[in-house]
Structure formats: C-alpha cells, structure tokens
Structure 1
Amino acid sequence: MSAHPQVTISTGILKGEADAGIRRFLGIPYAAPPFGANRFHEPQPPAAWEGVRDATAFGPTAPQLPYPGAIGELLGSVRIPGDDILTANVWSPEGAAGAPVVLWIHGGAFERGAPALPGYDGTAFARAGVVFASIGYRLGSEGFSVLDGAPRNLGLRDVAAGLEWVHREISAFGGDPARITVMGESAGGSLVAGLLARDDSRALVSRAIIQSGPLQAQSAQKAGRVTAQLAKRLGIRPTRDAFAAVAPDELLEARRQHATGSSPLGGAPGFQLTIDPESLPRSPHDVLASIETPLLIGSNTDEYRLWFTPEALAGVTELKLFAARLALRIPARAIRAYRSAWPGASTGEIFGQVATDAILRAPATRVATAKPSPTYLYEFAWQSPVRDLRAAHALELGFVFDRLADAESHRLAGPDAPRELAAAMNADWIRFIATGDPGWPAFDESRTTRRYDTRISDGPQRRQEPLDLLPLSP
C-alpha cells in the first residue's frame, strides 16, 4: 500500500496518508468557506482544484474560544486558523468496497468543538471495516444566530450539506452511499436529530446514533434570545448586514462576556436549533417517534456532573430547586419521587438529576417508547475517579472511539479506565453501523436498556417512575 494514496472525487484529486492498512484523507472541502460574501448565507458548493490537493492535515476550525474555567480543564479544544472551515475527513480500510459508512458530528454546545480533536480519530472504526467520516460546521453566532435577512440554522444546513457530500463522494473511499449511519454527541446528537427531522436529509440516512443529544428545537423567539442579547451588547440590530459587519473574533468576545457565570439552566441563554419552515419545519422530538430509521440512543447516568462543579452543586438550595422546578414545569410529586429514588442525594444532586432527565433521558425514552421501527436504548454508567464526575456528560466518548489511551480521555476518565469496556462499546456501535443491531433487544414494553458499567448488563430501564412524571417538553 502506498504511503500517500490518492483518490479522485468530483472536485479533484486528493493525496492522503496510509498506515497499518488504514487510509486517511483530511481537510476536504465539502462547501465553500462561509466568510466574505458567503457569511451568514446557506453553504455554497466547494470549488474544484487543479492538480493533486494535499489531504494530510485537518482543515481550519470554526471560530471559537476554549472552554472556560473548570470545564476547560476537562474538555480540550483546538483552533486551526483559516476560512476553509467546512471540510470533511475520511478514514477508510485499505481495499474497502461497498463498506458501511458512519458520519460523525461533534458536540460542544453549538459553539465549540472540532473534528480535529484527537479523541475523534476514526481509526478504530476503519480497522473494523467501516468507512469513518467527520465534518466541521459553523458554530455560535456564525452558525445559529436568528437574524433578519439571514437563513436560520446555518450550522444544521452545513451538516446537511456535509451529509450530501458523503452520499455523493464516499464511494471513492470504498464506502456504500446506501449504508450511511449519522452519529453525534451532545450538540452533535441534536444535529443528528435535526437531520432525521428533515425529509431530504433523512432520505440519505440508513441508521442513526444519538449520544446525550437534546431532541427539542425552539421557536425563533426563544432560540433568538441569545442573538438579541448579543446585538444589544454590541449596539447593533439583529440583522444579517449588522452582524456581517462585525468580525468573528468580536462576536466571540461579546459572547464570552455575555455567557460569563452562566450554567445550562441559568443565566444567559445559549445557542439552539430553531423551528424554521425551510430548514427545520418541526422539532425533532415531534418527528423521531414516527420515523422508520433505526436508532441507537442514550445518555450517561450523571450527565450533570460535567455541567456543574461540586462547589456549584453544594450551593444549590431548596429555593433554587423550587425555582428550577417551576421553570421546567416539573410537579412537586416528581421531586418527591427523585428523593425516594436517590435517598442519600443532596439537594444539588437532585437538581442535577432532574436536569439530566428532563433534558436528555426522558425525551430519549419517550421516543424509544413510541417509535415503530427498531430503537436501541443505552445508559453509560461507569464512574470516573476524576473530580467526582461519576458517569458525567461526554465521558463515554473515549469508550465509543476506543481511545482511552489518549491524554484527552485521561482528563475525564483518568489513566486506568477499563479498556475491555471501551472495546465492547466500540464493537456494539460498529455492529449497529454494519447491521442495524447493536447486540441487545430493541426497546419495547419490557423497556430493555443496555447498561455500560464495570459489568455490561441488559434489563428494564431503571428509575422509570421519576421519568414518567417529567413534562413532555421542559
């Protein structure tokens, strides 16, 4: 095998790298750079190139700032300068032909993250015979503003364009365009749900995996609160022309000031998907329950422990829990059920568990309960020894990608996380991508859920009573 294999796609010839039977092609434009005349516009087709394009390095990352404070010590970031941020990356097995495909969509609260993070290396998937692709997309104000004169959900439109690129070009890398699984975590999981809620995008998807992804899109008024507040801070109107006149770094600084001191359930609003006639006519949580696409979906037991530091949890009073209950329209008897299910939990831990379930676990369970086609539910429960994170948000990533040896994974899981659990979880994901069956029964009246802990087990979903008491759309 050549150390620098070449492939030809519709826009030109690519030169990649190869090692140990895996070919890798990075930084491939799937759309034109979204700046200059393209800023705050729908993604435009990529330009063709002459000769052979070097595809051995990741493309530029979307404008973003590192995570602040304590969370920044746990979640890494990477920023590669340049405007050509709408690029794809592909890992493929040598000699692949008609192989199953997975498209990875990274998370980061819609304003951080990049496919160039080391933990998102697709080698483990390619080694198992899967063609692995990943894409970048517009983040924050550039991708999810609600502006007069600009299309909405630009980041989702980017992801849809990336999916179309994969469908169109992946056969050149040995993948089968009829066997594409879309997979994402956190905001990336929301974007997967957004793709499934669009008729045009869903037609290109054979299966989907949503890891800890909120399923609800918001009205333009609610999703646009962050845009309106940033516009006020900048002294401009929330229009395309006004925002396009502000440099990306200035928008980032305004957002940094705006978000300082906020949390997922308090303070400044964050970026979200917007219900929009053109790009997202219905909220995913209203659509997923009726689609035929096989789905693997789940969350982590203690998601909230990444969102809130131990000090923040210790500072949650009964008054704050009461205010959160009112804001989320959660009945008092649900809180009593949580206290019964977690008899030793502090007020802050009850607050965090309600947040976890209202945002992630309950919506996923409702989709799995109603969906007519196969849906497989999981819970990641292995507890990290780092900072009392337990089974926090994003902890499962090092296991899904089988990358526990990476320094990035050590930040969350420590150096001694169980390799056999990572191997098993990665194998289950690959089995679902290849066959549509991850290896445990689909969710039905028995509520069977795979639980990943020091021992892998299948059984009825635990703590069902509190989940059933949560509102349909918090």
Structure 2
Amino acid sequence: MSDAATPTRHVEGDTVTGRVRGVWRGEPGAGGSAAFLGIPFAKPPVGALRFAAPEPAEAWEGVRDALEFAPTAQRGDPGVTLIPEPSVPGEATLNVNVFTPSPRRSDAALPVLVWIHGGGYFAGSPASPWYDGRSFNRDGVVTVTISYRLGFDGFGWIEDAPSNRGVRDWLLALQWVQDNIANFGGDPSRVTLAGQSAGGGAVLTLLGMPAAQHLFHAAWAMSGATADASAADAQALGRDIARRAGVAPNRDALARVPEARIIEAQTAATRIAGPGGISSLLDTGLRLGPSIDGDLLARPTLASLAAGVGADKPLVLGAADDEFAMAVAGSAKILRWVPLGVLLGRAGLARARRTAYLEANGDVASRGHAAVLGRHVSDRLFRTTVVRAARARGTAPTWVYRYAFRSTQPGHVNDAAVHCIDVPFWFDCLDADRVEPLTGPHPPQDLADATHGAAVALITGGAPGWPAWSASPGTTRVFGARGGPLGHVIRDGYAEVHPLL
C-alpha cells in the first residue's frame, strides 16, 4: 500500500495486546497517512468459539505485521454489491484496519471515524479500496474499519448459542477502539460511527442500544437497512437453516457442518424469488440480521429511538433517490405494458394508497413504469426508514439528506441515483477502482468535496453544516440533483414517501 514513487516506510504502533507494524503512505509531513491492516480485536471464531460470543484477542510477543488485509467473514464473491469488497480467506476474521495521519502521537487526540460495511448482513468486506481512510486522514480524522461475522454465523438463531453474535462483534470492535485508538493519534471520546446499507442499519441499531452508548458519540447512517427480526421469526429461520443443513439446531451439531454447507442452506432459506418474494421482503424486511432477543435488543430500533435512547448523540441520515432501481431496470421493456396499479399492487401497495403515491411521484412516473417500481422498492426498504427514524428522534439533534446524483454509466444503473452511489463521494475516493462503472465517467469532484466535507464537519464539529430536521421537521439537504445547485436545502425532502407512512 505504499506509493509507487516512494520506497515503503514501515511505522509501528502499540495495542493492548502487542505492537504492530504498518506502512506509511506519502511523504512525511506532506499529508500522508499510515495504514495498519488486519489487527485482531477478537480470537478467531472457529473450533470451540464457533457460534460463541467473541472473546478478546490474545496478546503476542514481538512486532506483528499489519501490512495486509486479514481474513474476511465474506467467502468468495456473492455478487450482490456494487462496491469492490474483496474476500480474503482464513479463520481470523474478526479484525480492524486503522488509518491515521499521526501514528506516533498518542497525544494527538484527533477525532475518530469507525466505518461498518454493508452487504445485507450476509456479504461485504472491510477490505474495500473505497474504505481507505486516507482522505479522512488528510482532514485530521483517524479512520477505523471493522469486520463482523455475517449470515448465519453472525445472526442465525441457535437454541443454545448467544444471540446476535454479529452485534456482539460490533460491540467488541468498538471497545477495541476505546482501548487502543489513542495510541494511533485518536481521541476515544470523539468517535463517530458510520455505515452504509446494512452498515447504516448497524449504526441505527447501535444508536438505539443502551449497551452501546458509551462506545461512540455521533453517527451517520447511509441508506440504513435495519432487520429487527422478531424472536419468533429468527427462531423459525434458524430451525429452517438447520433442517436444510440436515442437523439439529444446536451448537454441537451445527459446528460440525462445513461452512460452505451452512452458506448453501442459508442462501436457500432466504432466497427472494418472483413478485411474491419482493412483496414479502418489503413487508417483513431483512430476515437474517439483528433480531429482538430480549437481551442486547429488547425492542425494535425505532421504538428505542422514540424512547430517547441515543438522544444525546448527533445523527445524520439519508438515502439515495433510486436505491434499488437497478433491480428492475432490466425489465423496463416488459414492465411498461403492465398497468402501474397492478405493478404496485403486486409489490404490496394497498389500492387506497396508490393514487396518492403516484401523484407524489409524478416526476418518477415520467421516467417509466420500471422507474416507479424501483422507486417504490427503494422507498419501502430505505427512504421511509429515514423519515421514521428522524421522526422517532423528536428534538434530538438530527440532520437529513437525499442523494440525487444520477449515474451516467450506460446499463442498469444509468439515469438513477442507485444504491452505493454516494459512498465514493463520501469517502472522496473518485479515483478508486470500480467507481466509474457505478457513477459514469468523470464523476464531479465538487460533489465529493461537498459530501465528504459534510462528513468531516459532523466528525470534527458535531454538525454537518445545514439546518437540522429536529429543529424544523422535513428539512433536507439534497446532494447532486441534476440541473440544480450542488447541495441545496428544501423544506420537505421526503414528501414523496408520505403516502407510505
């Protein structure tokens, strides 16, 4: 990870479990940063620790190399993400990556960003080049990306195993930040939690979790997708996956099942097929993710936020306009012959709400039936969550945005503000691998400056730089609207979803 024009410069740092060796990128004193990759925060979750709560990493002697990304919980390429998120084989999947401009200054006390990747709680990886913290380091922010167990290993119900193991991984990783980040120039009392998609859902989940309140101080949720599965639904799914794997739903039996077979059973049990599958997804949400267990999660996330949990923490949240437009774009020629009322009915929108919804989304209807169906799916999965969460917070400091930048890349993402399109702007990494296939050629740097600048403003100053929804409900900043200003504030930025609320 060194710059091609300069020789590799190693740099060392201390953790509570031992010393690590990272690499410095850039010239000293010229805006460079150090990367410490794959530092374990927990023991490998294998053998006796498979399906167990995470246990803190063991100490080591000497200096441990932290020069490459460590193993990821994601296996292979699930093919579900628009972000390059590579899989790294191996067992030690619970680790953190630290990017810092001040690796040798324990007194630097810089603000800290902790990023949680998305992927529907069953995919994704912290090893993406998009998640490199160098741009945040340039702006004086230490950045940490964390891993967690995915799918059944992280969230599946097992009759004699700890619940929400992936959530417990988040908590232990955040505790690692509290215990160690000062040694990398960060201030543990100024931690902002951020994530996108399932990662954004993780942010909202942690924001509403009493046990997590001491671990961070501000939050940014991008396209947050919560799960909040009921205890009954989680148990039913866990039993189904165990049945498909051919074993009893207990730790001893499941621990003997090869990982690939568990993933195969999980995929079959959660497969979404046909209009009925989409309607079920919209009605019930993600099935394999954080569940209401009566322990860590005593109630749904929105209920916790409405009860005031996390109300002392600034929150920014928003979504892209056409999150899942690409899911139906390939069927545009067929869908144009199906009456809109029929399409929306099959997607679960009650007849009484269809007229109001179509009237509120007249501009989308002008782009075709597929655009309307894609917007409806996006609204149900993501955009209504933004409004519900902002409303639940009441007067707690909350800012809302919309991401309206439409891809110019020909193909399934063309002319839509699709899922993930805001991530490279937020990280200010428009030159990174596979950005152009998502955004189209020449993505605007001034939009990255504005988006990334808002993130830095929250992390360093506690507010993103536009009027708060909590002071005037409905207030929304719109980033990247075609034909409009770079980022303007409107009075009711999510008016289109009101018929769904």
TM-score normalised by structure 1 residue count = 0.91
Aligned to 1:90: 98
Q: Distance in 1 between matches of 2:54 and 2:74?
A: 16
Residue aligning to 1:294: 314
CA 212–162 in structure 1, closer or farther in 2 if over 3 Å, else same: same
The 2-side partners of 1:226 and 1:312 are apart by 33
Q: Which amino acid aligns with 1:137?
A: Y
**Partner in structure 2 of residue 108 of structure 1:** 119
Deviation at 1:366, TM superposition (A): 2.6
| Contact persistence 1:302–1:353 (CA under 8 A) | yes
Cα distance 1:315–1:46, how it changes in 2: closer, same or farther (>3 A)?
A: same
Matches within 5 A, 1:135-150: 135-150=146-161
Q: Which residue number corresponds to residue 61 of structure 2?
A: 50
**Native 8 Å contact 1:313 1:349 kept in 2:** no
TM superposition shift of 1:224: 4.3
| 2:278 pairs with one of 256, 265, 273 | 265
1:409 aligns with 2:435: yes
Q: Does 1:276 align with 2:293?
A: yes
Partner of 2:4: none
User: Displacement, 1:26?
Assistant: 0.8
What is the alpha-carbon distance in structure 2 between the residues aligned to residue 82 and residue 100 of structure 1? 32
Alignment match of 1:450 (pick from 477, 488, 492): 477
Q: Secondary structure at the match of 2:199?
A: helix
Give secondary structure in 1 for the equivalent of 2:263. helix
Q: How far does residue 446 in structure 1 lie from its aligned partner after superposition? A: 5.3
2:204 aligned partner, one-letter code: A
In structure 1, what is the Cα distance between the partners aligned to 2:119 and 2:316? 20
Matched AA of 1:249 = A
Match for residue 377 of structure 1? 400
**AA at the equivalent of 2:57:** P
Cα shift at 1:417: 0.8
Asked if the contact 1:62/1:136 (under 8 Å) is kept, the reply is yes
CA shift at 1:367, angstroms?
2.3
Separation in structure 1 between the aligned mates of residue 371 and residue 159 of structure 2, nearest angstrom = 41
Instruction: Say whether the 8 Å CA contact 2:321–2:417 is kept in structure 1.
Output: yes
8 Å Cα contact 1:207-1:293 kept in structure 2:
yes
Quick check: 1:215–1:285 contact (8 Å CA) kept in 2? no
State the secondary structure of the residue aligned to 1:394: coil
Whole-Å Cα distance in 1 between the matches of residues 356 and 363 of structure 2?
10
What is the deviation of 1:432? 0.6
Instruction: Please state if 1:178 is matched with 2:201.
Output: no
Give 3-state SS (helix, strand or coil) of 1:229's partner: helix
Deviation at 1:325, TM superposition (A): 2.1
Q: Report the CA distance shift for 1:153/1:309 in structure 2 as closer, same or farther (over 3 A).
A: farther
Partner of 1:421: 447
Residues 176/330 of structure 1: CA separation in 2 closer, same or farther (3 Å cut): farther
Picking from 186, 191, 200, the partner of 2:202 is: 191
CA distance in 1, matches of 2:272, 2:392: 38
Q: Is the 8 A contact 1:119 1:408 kept in 2?
A: no
Q: Where in structure 2 are the equivalents of 1:167-246 lying within 5 Å?
A: 167-215=178-226, 217-246=228-257
Provide Cα deviations, 1:136-189, integer angstroms capped at 9, x if missing partner: 110111111012111121111101110111011101101101000000000011
Q: Which letter does structure 2 place at the counterpart of 1:459?
A: I
Whether 1:362 aligns to 2:370 is no
Deviation string 1:300-329 (CA, Å, 9 cap, x unpaired) is 011012444432784484545213225x89
TM-score (norm 2): 0.87
* 1:12 and 2:18 are equivalent in the alignment: yes
Say if 1:334 and 1:470, in contact at 8 Å, map to a contact too. Answer: no
Contact 1:405 1:415 in 2 (8 A): no
Aligned partner of 1:396 among 419, 422, 432: 422
Check 1:46–1:451 CA distance in 2 against 1; reply closer, same or farther (3 A cut): same
User: Counterpart of 2:489 in structure 1: which amino acid?
Assistant: D
Partner of 1:470 in structure 2? 500
Q: List runs of 5+ in structure 2 lacking aligned partners.
A: 1-6, 27-31
SS in 2 for 1:27: strand
Match of 2:465 among 421, 427, 439: 439
Question: Deviation string for 1:359-387 (max 9, x for gaps)?
Answer: 22222123223422211111111110122
* Matched residue type, 1:9: T
Q: 1:247 aligns with which of 258, 280, 286?
A: 258
Amino acid at match of 2:99: W
The CA deviation string for residues 334-381 of structure 1, in whole angstroms up to 9 with x for no partner, is 444445464425343322222222222222123223422211111111
Stretch deviating more after TM superposition (74-83 or 297-306):
74-83
Distance between the aligned counterparts of 1:168 and 1:302, measured in 2?
40
Q: Which shows bigger deviation, 44-53 or 334-343? A: 334-343
Q: Provide structure 1 residue ranges, at least 5 long, that are not aligned to the other structure.
A: none
| Structure 1 letter corresponding to 2:303 | D
390-399 or 2-11: which moved more? 2-11
Q: Distance in 2 between matches of 1:175 and 1:273?
A: 29
Alignment check: 8 A CA contact 1:59 1:85 kept: yes
Tell me if the contact between 1:102 and 1:130 (Cα under 8 Å) persists in the aligned partners: yes
Task: Please report how far the alpha carbon of residue 451 of structure 1 lies from its aligned counterpart in structure 2 after TM superposition.
Answer: 0.8
What SS does the corresponding residue of 1:203 show, helix, strand or coil? helix
C-alpha contact 2:302 2:392 (8 A) present in aligned 1: no
**Closer/same/farther in 2, CA of residues 330 and 407 from structure 1, 3 Å limit:** farther
Secondary structure of 1:88's aligned partner: strand
Per-residue deviation, residues 399-441 of structure 1 (Å, max 9, x unmatched):
0111111122122112311112112211110111001111111
**Bigger mean CA offset, 264-273 vs 417-426:** 264-273
Q: Contact 2:154 / 2:166 at 8 angstroms: preserved in 1?
A: yes
Distance 1:217 1:25 in 2: 34
* Aligned-residue offset at 1:398: 0.7
Q: CA RMSD in A?
A: 2.5
Tell me, what secondary structure is at the counterpart of 1:408?
Answer: coil
Alpha-carbon deviation of 1:283? 1.4
CA distance in 1, matches of 2:301, 2:351: 21
C-alpha contact 1:428 1:438 (8 A) present in aligned 2: yes
Q: Please identify, of 316-325 and 442-451, the stretch whose mean Cα deviation from structure 2 is larger.
A: 316-325
Structure 2 distance, partners of 1:129, 1:262, is 46
